Chains A and B, each alone.
Chain A
Amino acid sequence: MPASLVQNESILAIDVGATMTRAVLFDVVEGQYRFVASGQAPSTAEAPFKDIGLGVREALTNLQNITGAALISTQDNSLIAPSQPDGSGVDAVVATLSAGPAVRTVVVGLLPDVSLQSARRLAESTYSRVVETLDLSDRRKRDRQMDSIVRSRPDLVLLAGGTDGGASRSMQKMLETIGLACYLMPEEKRPMVLYAGNQKMAADVKELLGNQVGRLQVSPNVRPSLEVEDLLPATHEMASLVMKLRERQIKGVDELSLWSGGNLLPTAYAHGRMIGFLSRMYQSTRGLLGVNVGASATSVAAGFNGDLTLGVYPQFGVGENLAGILQHTSMEDILRWLPLDISSNTLREYLFQKSIYPSAIAATRDEQAMAQAIARQALYLSVRLAQKNFPAGARGTRKDLLPALDLIIGGGGAISDGSSLGQSLLLMLDAIQPVGVQPVLLDQNNLLPMLGAAASRNHYLPVQVIESGAFIGLGTVISVIASASYGDPILRAKLTYADGTEARADVKFGGLEVLPLATGQTAKLNVQPLRRADAGLGPGKAGAIQVTGGALGVVIDARGRPLQLPQDPVRRRELMKRWSYAVGG
């Protein structure tokens, strides 16, 4: 049962990332939940430490140094819970985890365009790397299929197929193939299996696979009928299964799970859950987008009318998988984002060297420029992949553009570690390329996944923490779509402040204009498009928009959609510097 505010419950949130571990304290201040403080330390899932508990305790020590209240017992190094009369300890713990290698996943369905696609989308909701697929169109002999599965060394098998009460014979064969393949693997290496197919077959699944796999979980069908896809319940089951897998793979995860009362969640899942929650709570009519570029993966969560679309892409994580990005994109596509003259050779060596030391950070301007360029491309590709799974009614007017959104929230080390807030915003604008009008928030302390984890325990906490200004409002962005040449005037804008004063801008195609509007203030923005430009009100339509302020104010992005960068590298770099300067350098 969710705790009430009256209980005055302090909540400790712990997030164990691939490179950093964060401990965050939420407590009730003047009747409202607040983000109190955060402590962090490098993660210790990897060698030589090989125990996440070390990093967690370091982060907790740093947190207690800030708050002055003890969290770790000096006697036995255990967490002090519940809180004590002397102010030490916490009442509850919630935890998220993204550390660990990508989950090697075999995806199985019946029809390639139906259940297999649903199973693939389910795989994309966590840190999966699909290493093998199987469906009815697979013409390989069954023994070849089995060998292929064995060779792929899966951690997880996702099984979908058959509408509820529908075909069972084909699924029976699939189950036999999977069961035999698992039987051929050493017992301690057998994968965990999530069955999310025809519910009528659940008993057969348990009988056929129960003794052959590492762990079997049955969830509601992801495809209860041909027309309906329902990933949400299976996504939840898979999140829990992945955490069980991590308990098997990484020392210390079991302790964290114990601290959190079994409510340990994959970070990306918790992030998605929060976006879905916010989308419902704020009754977002258009959509709400949350992006997170981290070491383990880049994740994209979109909430449309309360429905969540979650895409987790370990191939675009900026940690140990970094060099692998070259399997999905070209060097030129990363180089295009560089404001400095850096050779493709240097960038390539950077990618490989950074893969050796994923926790290292940029200490020089060149390295920072490369890190930001790679993060842009990783986010750009992830958003495009995620967009394919957006609900039919939310795919935008043009295939090459995103739908209009109500809000964008960015987080993760690669975004929040920008050298300035302007750089964080510019990275998101370049990669996401939103259209229309929306505020952009920066989750600088990466609180969103923690709030997602806390939401299951206390519904008030996330709302109150967000409303207390835990995120940095970067400002309101107006993205203009226009067909024009560089330098052509496309928009006249007038910002009328609450005190009646005005700021004006004649916006030219290819530029970024910033009108100051402080955080917490609202103002009226009058836009008058030229050349049938669309500033969010429709092509050529003028009008007034209520905008909210932020660290940067009101940002008019007149660079066009999709963003076209000049082919000439010198001109491109010059423009990028100009854009960077426009948002504060």
Chain B
Amino acid sequence: MLAPVLHVIPLTTIVRERVLPMPGKVLMHVNQHVNPTDVVAETTYAREHVLLDVARTFGISAGEADKLIRVNEGDRLEKGALIAEKQGLFSNTIKAPRAGRVMICGSGQVLMEVGDARIELRAGLPGVVTQIIPDKGVVIRTAGALIQGVWGNGRIDNGLMVSLLEKPDDILAAGRLDVSLRGSVILAGQVRDLETLKAAADLPVRGLILSSMPSTLIEAAYKMRYPILVTEGFGAMPMNSAAFKLLTTNNKREATVNADHFDRYTGTRPEVIIPLPISNEPDEPSQYERFELGRQVRMRRPPNAGMLGTIAELPTGLSLLPSGLRAPAAEVKLENGEVSLVPLVNLEVVG
């Protein structure tokens, strides 16, 4: 059976495509080095539109109104600029209510876009631009450690990673966040209260890598201006041992926290990238594998959620689970030596 892969890799080649949600301008060129927070492409879009119904305002037909319109498609107008004018005994004018650009004229109407908003697309990882996607974005390549999470608050930043994590199930309390941590990416375990998120914002920190947090904090976490990445999920869960070991051994290294949303259709997911020097470029990780004996796997659901193990047996057919359900399953030898029967759909390969 095909197996999804959770990447927790000490050294790999990481290739990421970064594209704008709508056409825009790419600001980079091939072979250019980028930092995670560099803007690689940008675009503007109109937050609002204004539809001016000339025909209706003047009480005339659309054809007649078109003759009175004084602007053309693409014109940039200041607030108060003349749009249409009707002369005669009772002359009348229509002026631009706001500064903006004329999008369409016709059928006695003028449509303007107003209130430009800018979208800046950040690199999201340090590396080299290997490809330009015209009008859309770039492909960036780097080498380093890669640790994927399951939830992110949508923000990106980088900084020196400081580990406050001694055990995978440590809990981070607000009191542990002192001024010496300002500007750092904090590696912590579980957060259980809003005060801790606020204390991190007050410092401020450049990122928070957590094992878990209560789902009740999701809304608050979205409001934080620093990235928050969760490796295991919601509730009170210790960090999986592979992520714990890899992250803590990279203590005091520069780390990028791209707390992207986990989008199951595009495949984007939150990840920590720790750039490392290389002599030979390592292989890119595979996106999926097959469940096979000896594979290291992570349990996605209870019991033992987040724990790692090795596939010891792959029984044929369906296995009876403690829940009473029957499903294809694997016997997994857990890190603590116990053997657990786990449905295959509750497993992901680690690597």
Contacts and interface: CB of A to CB of B under 8 A. Distances in A.
Contact of B345 (A348, A359, A368): A359
A348 B216 contact: yes
Nearest to A350: B235
A42 B1 contact: yes
B303 A352 contact: no
Given A146-B49, A348-B216, A352-B234, A419 B264 contact: no
Interface in B80-131: 103-104, 107, 111, 113
A419 B51 contact: no
Nearest to B269: A47
Contacts of B305: 353
A363 B215 contact: no
B150 interface: yes
Contacts of A420: 324
A252 to B, nearest CB: 13
A143 B233 contact: no
Contact of B301 (A42, A143, A346, A360): A360
B265 A363 contact: no
B221 to A, nearest CB: 12
A143 B50 contact: yes
A204 interface: no
Contacts of A184: 46, 49, 103, 113
A362 B49 contact: no
Nearest to A142: B51
Q: How large is the interface on B (under 10, 10 to 19, 20 to 34, 35 or more residues)?
A: 35 or more
A46 B265 contact: yes
A348 B51 contact: no
Contacts of A359: 345
A353 B233 contact: yes
Nearest to A359: B345
Nearest to B343: A361
Given A356-B233, A367-B301, A54 B49 contact: no
A348 B324 CA distance: 23
B324 A365 contact: yes
Nearest to A187: B23
Given A42-B1, A363-B301, A356 B267 contact: no
Given A183-B104, A186-B22, A363-B321, 9 more contacts: A48-B288, A49-B4, A49-B288, A356-B233, A360-B301, A361-B345, A362-B301, A364-B303, A364-B322
18 contacts: A41-B2, A45-B265, A48-B287, A141-B51, A176-B107, A184-B113, A349-B215, A349-B234, A349-B235, A352-B234, A356-B234, A359-B345, A360-B301, A361-B325, A363-B303, A363-B322, A367-B323, A368-B325
Interface of B: 1-2, 4-5, 22-23, 46-51, 103-104, 107, 111, 113, 150-151, 214-216, 218, 233-235, 262-269, 287-288, 300-303, 305, 321-325, 327, 342-346
Interface of A: 19, 41-42, 44-50, 54-55, 58, 101, 141-143, 146-147, 176, 180, 183-184, 186, 189, 249-250, 320, 323, 345-346, 348-349, 351-354, 356-357, 359-368, 417, 419-420, 423
